[in-house]
Structure 1
Amino acid sequence: MSDTTRDAVRLRWPAVSARRLERSALAAPSPHLDPAGIVGALCGAHAQVLSAAELSIGMRGEGLTRSVVRKALWDEAGLIKMYGPRGTVHLLPAADLPMWVGALSALPSSPSPFTKDVRMTPEQTEEVVAAIGAALRDAELTIDELSEAVIAATGPWAGDLVMPAFQGMWPRWRQAITLASHRGQLCFGPNRGRKVTYTHPQHLTGDDPMEGTAALARLVERYLHAYGPATPQNFARWLNVSPRWATELFDSLAGALQRVDLEGTAAWVNAGDTGTPGEPPRGVRLLPYFDAYVVACQPRDRLYPGAMAKRALTPSGQAGNYPVLLVDGVVSGVWHQRRSGRRLAVTVEPRTELTAAQRAELDEQVERLAFVLEGTAELTIGTVGVGPHA
């Protein structure tokens, strides 16, 4: 894909920032979107820490508490919890599941991180994925119950305790659990007491996946609508695929994409989608761990200027490990909340002096946070001593 920017529409960073905030329901909370609508607009909500996903969703809507989000997830099946982009746990809209499964199952396979004596052969992997799907159809199983079913269906080799995990070892078959989710054979079910359960997505939705090429095209369209202008390299980082593969994908969609000039850098939007808001980005926002906005938005140096890169990014440049304070579309601090019963102790560490109006907005954000998390909050302006989330 050519990098020339001659004759391309020219966009400035403040206008792009305002556009992304608006489309991510961060310019103002959306009164029209339900939890599934918000998650769809974000291209998924990272849910390794489920309370953070609840906060990501609730802060963007009106009247959306964590109970409302949980009801959409566990009772109404409007949301699905599964392994999504980058192989991490996400909430995804049930209505979008055909696109997600079609796209994720069409991604190029990554090299196995396991040694030869641990990893499975391609044939064994297919056996395990099929066994997972068969065991979970019309069932909700704990990991131990699922393990018994998979080993019974495939053979003792699947149960060999060869995968280092935390303080113990996991059975061999578990290295295929993310692939099974990407193939549409596994998602999370409601907890059984303190135990996680898994079930089959079709048990909840009944929908078949889209064809891979069409699904990838739609995913690129959704991503660029939310986070464009963007480059194939930005998309590759967001999805954890090779930049070369992402470039080839963008090339294949050339007729549906339009090149723009983002302050001297060639980037892409959906064809004809070059509009931006008339006003610069404004507002104070509290974003939780691994919020979709900070994970997806590039370039990082624009979103995390100066010293904020060192304070709120990992050494490798990964975003999301700290909850962040967003001021006028730019990361301007970090924050942390500690819960005790219904009481929330919120500490915010701004890296810039807040105006009186911005401090008032911060107070409003803390009130919204307490509403979403169904508690009462007390704000302290000070140093956050908690380190990054792993």
Structure 2
Amino acid sequence: MTKSTGITWAAASARRLERQFLARRARTGTPVADVAAAMLGVHAQVLSAAELSVGLRADGVTRTDVRDALWPTAPLAPPAPALVKTHGPRGTVHLLPARDLPMWCAALPAIPAGPAAFPTDVRLTGEQAGQVVAAIADALDGTFLTVDELGEEVVARTGPWAGDLVMPAFQTMWPRWRQVLHRAGQCGALSFGPNRGRRVTYTRPPRFTPLPPEEASRLLARRYLYAYGPATPQHFARWLAAPPGWAKARYAELAAAGEIEEVRFEGAPAWVAAGDTAFPDAPERDELLRGVRLLPYFDAYVVAAQPRELLFPGAAYRRALAGGQAGNFPVLLVDGVAAGVWHQRRRGRRTTVTVEPLARLTARQERELADCVERVGAVLEAAAELVIGEVTVGAHA
């Protein structure tokens, strides 16, 4: 490691891969919550992808380990969950370490909301939204409810207005209260429980005391820079789907307090956490970057690492992104940059992993790819078969 204020893309990528457990997997026995914390949350809109995101970073971890961390079971009193499935960055479903909820559930509600998504006669007032969130927390305390059951409890605790079918959604209409479902998750009033058959359930996460919002926001910014820096306020805003002006103000506060410092990243100004200016030198950098890796849908690394045009160079920008948005395709990384896409199709105890490289792989890289596919199978508790060819499945919505 060498200290530098003039940082290259390769050096930044090598450090990010190491801190993300992508250069070297976490050792056997590392708690899955530690892996999720290093990633700053695991995108979990597709649970199997979240299981892969964690399992591909930690030796010996399978999907069962991830689910046990979410919903532990015991004959009498189960322990508190180590992971919580709830609404995280960008309002999307994430797996978050339970120990980090005091930060997340103070920082996320403090982000200014964007333009209203619904007309005035559909929207909840600020007071109504607060009533609904409180009703959700009360209804879910110590139980698991489907969305319909939860809706009945919310209406009973607030009033008929909460159940008005006014929200257009998937060729039907949803009740008014559901427009703050993600807010309830971000506030710590709601998390996902285990499915009841094919039906999603919700519960209340373990009790905690949120940090003061400003403290939480600054802590989140510093942790983002540790995991994915160097980065600009615009990068931070994009990752959170936050207003750029808000992110710029957080950086200014941190800089004034001496908590972050400016560096040159690929010749342009960017920021790192104060004192965190050591980056791998050439031999170590090349070792950390070298190799083939498979990252699933919406993996935290491809969503958060910026600038995106350097992570997805050339043909990868057109093939592995969806209109410039990362995560909609599972990604093949070769030597630290996107170099293809892949897809897995499971049938019973077997899964077929089709990988579409954008350039010819060497014999060594094909062997490494076979090892990656074997690891995908191990995480998903299935026998995996590798097929190198065209991926015909389109981008995930």
TM range, smaller chain: over 0.9
Q: Is 1:361 matched up with 2:333?
A: no
CA-to-partner distance for each residue in 1:287-326, whole Å, 9 max, x for gaps?
00000000001001100001111101111x1100000000
**3-state SS, counterpart of residue 36 of structure 1:** helix
* Distance in 2 of aligned mates of 1:380 and 1:197: 36
Structure 1 partner of 2:76: none
CA-to-partner distance for each residue in 1:111-141, whole Å, 9 max, x for gaps?
2211122111112111111111111122221
The runs of 5 or more residues in structure 2 that have no matched partner are 73-78
Output aligned runs, 1:15-94, within 5 Å.
15-31=11-27, 33-75=30-72, 76=79, 77-94=81-98
TM-score (norm 2): 0.94
Structure 2 partner of 1:271: 274
Structure 2 partner of 1:196: 200
User: Residue 288 of structure 1: which of 277, 293, 296 is its match?
Assistant: 296
* Distance in 2 of aligned mates of 1:186 and 1:370: 32
* Distance in 1 of aligned mates of 2:113 and 2:309: 30
**3-state SS, counterpart of residue 313 of structure 1:** coil
Structure 2 partner of 1:378: 385
Q: Is 1:321 matched up with 2:322?
A: no
Structure 1 partner of 2:246: 245
Q: One-letter code of the match for 1:194?
A: R
The runs of 5 or more residues in structure 1 that have no matched partner are 1-7
Q: Which shifted more, 175-184 or 58-67?
A: 175-184
Structure 2 partner of 1:261: 264
The structure 1 segments of at least 4 consecutive aligned residues displaced by more than 3 Å after TM superposition are none
In the TM superposition, residue 105 of structure 1 has moved relative to its aligned partner by 2.0
* Distance in 1 of aligned mates of 2:152 and 2:169: 18
In the TM superposition, residue 184 of structure 1 has moved relative to its aligned partner by 1.3
Q: One-letter code of the match for 2:264?
A: D
Q: One-letter code of the match for 2:8?
A: R
* Distance in 1 of aligned mates of 2:98 and 2:7: 34
Q: One-letter code of the match for 1:120?
A: L
CA-to-partner distance for each residue in 1:91-114, whole Å, 9 max, x for gaps?
000111111111112211222211
Output aligned runs, 1:132-147, within 5 Å.
132-147=136-151
CA-to-partner distance for each residue in 1:14-33, whole Å, 9 max, x for gaps?
11110000000000211063
Q: How many residues matched?
A: 379
Structure 2 partner of 1:309: 317
Is the Cα contact below 8 Å between 2:262 and 2:270 reproduced in 1?
Answer: yes
Output aligned runs, 1:152-163, within 5 Å.
152-163=156-167
Structure 1 partner of 2:75: none
* Distance in 2 of aligned mates of 1:230 and 1:344: 37
* Distance in 2 of aligned mates of 1:367 and 1:100: 34
Q: One-letter code of the match for 1:268?
A: W
* Distance in 2 of aligned mates of 1:336 and 1:192: 27
CA-to-partner distance for each residue in 1:73-95, whole Å, 9 max, x for gaps?
11151100000000000000011
* Distance in 1 of aligned mates of 2:188 and 2:393: 37
Structure 2 partner of 1:225: 226
In the TM superposition, residue 271 of structure 1 has moved relative to its aligned partner by 0.6
CA-to-partner distance for each residue in 1:141-188, whole Å, 9 max, x for gaps?
111111001111111111111111113111000001111111111111
Q: One-letter code of the match for 2:280?
A: P
What is the alpha-carbon root mean square deviation over aligned residues?
1.1
User: Residue 341 of structure 1: which of 334, 340, 348 is its match?
Assistant: 348
TM-score (norm 1): 0.95
Q: Is 1:216 matched up with 2:217?
A: yes
